[in-house]
Amino acid sequence: MTLAPIDPAAGPAISDLDALEAEGIHILRELAAERERPVLLFSGGKDSIVLLRLAEKAFRPGAFPFPVMHVDTGHNFPEVVAFRDRRVAELGERLIVASVQASIDAGRIADVSGPRSSRNQLQTVTLLDAIAEHRFDACIGGARRDEERARAKERIFSLRDAFGGWDPRAQRPEIWDLYNARVRPGEHVRVFPISNWTELDVWRYVAREGLELPSIYFAHERSVFKRDGMLYADDPVIERLPGEEPFVTSVRYRTVGDMTCTGAVRSEAATLEQVVTEIAATRVTERGETRADDRASEAAMEDRKRDGYF
């Protein structure tokens, strides 16, 4: 099949990334204008790094009209925590760290222990406590619709009740780009400016904008062990089972989460260019490959779909 060339003179006003960027900026500005107390949730991962750049594009030369908040499980990669502090300081913006350890110390939640435990689930309490404490009425997040099936149906402005719950049956229709950010006291909206981006879009944008990423995104030598077909960091926060022998190999991370549930992939891709090439050619989804939180419930496809897996 031969493809007819597209007349460049009749080309689009803007490229696909420019269109996604313009949409993201518009969303952030709408939110800032319509909600009094937003916060940007920053994980140190590539998606939230893109959010910070979009915020710069939306609000410079002014200050961000919201603080940046990290929910720190205490089991985060040290490289990512260091990156977080440096990046937010460079931007001159305000960082709030909501600590899962502090929630445990305060008796708000019980810590988990054992080889397969993860503090990933505990984050919710800490997040909701922080939202209540700071009276945030909107949280900006870096979730994308291509990550999992439930997200594909989630609005860009997504209402949460006082318990942080999302009711897929009670979503507001989202028509044109006329977003509805209204909330009642105690409720908040989650806002996802990069809803329509794919993993590859994010990587392309990182490359185009020359954004710095935490070093764990690039191939590095690390002591790891194998569990359920995934490679986990050999670190005191993860208890190994008998037979789970650590070994050193070259890996990189595809997502950045709590160390206890984020797996590494074997890779020699040390530069952004190499990583993007590898991602573009990869045949496994980001979550399927490296996120134990998504794999845990993988009993049957039907179940996963109910839970919103792809």
Partner 1 sequence: MATSSASAPVATLVHGLLRVATCGSVDDGKSTLLGRLLHDTRQIADDQLDHVRDVSERRGTALDLALLTDGLRAEREQGITIDVAYRSFETPRRRFILADCPGHEQYTRNMVTGASTADAAVLLVDARHGVVAQTRRHLAITALLRVPHVLVAVNKMDLVDWDGGRFAEIAGDVRALAETLGVEDVACVPVSALEGDNVVEPSTRTPWYDGPPLVTRLEELPPESDDPDGPLRFPVQLVIRPLGEAGGGRRYAGRVARGTVRPGDAVVALPSGEEAVVAAVETLDGELAHASAPRSVSIVLDRELDISRGDVLCRTGAAPALTRELEATICWMGERHLRPGARLLLKHGTRTTRAIVEDVTERLHLQSLLGAPAPDGLALNDLGRVRVRVAEPLVADPYAESRAAGAFVLIDDATNDTVAAGMITSTTG
**Window 226-265: residues binding partner 1 (CB under 8 A):** none
**Cβ(88)–Cβ(95) under 8 Å?**
yes
Interface of this chain with partner 1, residues 269 to 308, rule: CB under 8 A: 273, 276-277, 279-285, 288-289, 301-302, 305-306
For residue 128, state whether it binds partner 1 (rule: CB under 8 A): no
Cβ-based nearer residue to partner 1, 119 or 287: 287
Q: How far is the CB of 76 from partner 1 (least distance, A)?
A: 26
119-124: list long-range contacts, CB under 8 Å, 24+ apart. Answer: 119/73, 119/74, 119/75, 119/258, 119/260, 120/73, 120/257, 120/258, 120/260, 120/261, 120/293, 122/73, 123/71, 123/73, 123/258, 124/164
Angle at 167 between CA 161 and CA 170, to 5 degrees: 100
Phi/psi at 265 (5° precision) = -115, 145
Least distance (Å) from partner 1 to the CB of residue 96? 20
Q: Which of residues 138-177 bind partner 1 (CB under 8 A)?
A: 145-146, 149, 152-153, 168-169, 171-177
Q: How far apart are CA 15 and CA 269, in angstroms?
A: 27
For residue 81, report the phi and psi dihedrals to the nearest 5 degrees: -65, -40
- How far is it between the farthest Cα atoms of the chain? 66
Which member of 29, 134, 226, 227 binds partner 1 (CB under 8 A)? 29
Segment interacting with partner 1 (CB under 8 A) among 103-111, 197-205, 213-221, 262-270? 197-205
Q: Whose Cβ is closer to partner 1: residue 59's or residue 218's?
A: 59
15 near partner 1 (CB under 8 A): yes
- How far, in Å, are 84, 145, 193, 196 from residue 289 at the CA level? 25, 17, 25, 21
Q: Which is nearer to partner 1, 59 or 240 (CB)?
A: 59
Q: Which is nearer to partner 1, 30 or 72 (CB)?
A: 30
In the block, tokens 């989202």 appear at 174
Q: Which is nearer to partner 1, 20 or 138 (CB)?
A: 20
Question: For residues 45-64, which are near partner 1 according to CB under 8 A?
Answer: 56-63
Report if residue 94 touches partner 1, rule: CB under 8 A.
no
Count Cα neighbours of 125 within 13 Å in the Cβ-side half-sphere. 16
Q: Shortest Cβ distance from residue 268 to partner 1 (Å)? A: 16
Q: Which of 180, 215, 249, 250 binds partner 1 (CB under 8 A)?
A: 180
CA dihedral 254, 260, 266, 270 (to 10 degrees): 50
Q: Count the residues of the shown chain that bind partner 1, applying the rule CB under 8 A.
A: 78
